[in-house]
Amino acid sequence: MSTQRSSATDPGAMFVAALTEREFGRLADVLTPDVRMRALIPPGPVELSGAEPAAAKFAFWFGESNGLELVHSGSDEVGDRLHVFYRLRVKRPGDPWKVIEQHLFCALDEGRITALDLVCSGFRPDSAGAASKSVS
């Protein structure tokens, strides 16, 4: 059984919306000022502290892309953690379209993310191509 919050109150949905709209200031607002972020990404682990540095990391990954399309996303609870996931198609300058999937496990306090642990697929070749775009 899954409990789905409304997108207006779901920190996961607010995070994904800010990310896909590339509004990194709004993304930072979903995080507490002292958020702890740990990420397992290619080429290796990242650990940082603070909403602004965390938002800047997402801006580094996605901010300069020529195209950013949400393929699939969602959020649900795993015990006392919020699980947020999304798959994006990304077109970076000079590169072909890539697909990337990230999973975040988040601790919350009063509707804001206090800690997030992220696992990332890395930017993978988009074998499906532009014709298979779907958002759910």
Do residues 102 and 120 touch, judged by C-beta distance below 8 A? yes
Q: Is 134 helix (H, G, I), strand (E, B) or coil?
A: coil
Please give the span between the terminal C-alpha atoms of the chain, in angstroms, as a whole number.
19
* pLDDT tens string 18-54: 999 999 999 999 999 999 999 999 989 999 999 999 9
pLDDT at residue 57 is higher than 70: yes
* pLDDT tens string 88-134: 999 999 999 999 999 999 999 999 999 999 999 999 999 876 544 44
Q: Is 136 helix (H, G, I), strand (E, B) or coil?
A: coil
Torsion of CA 87, 69, 80, 56, to 10 degrees: 110
Residue 9 has a pLDDT of: 72
pLDDT at residue 61 is higher than 70: yes
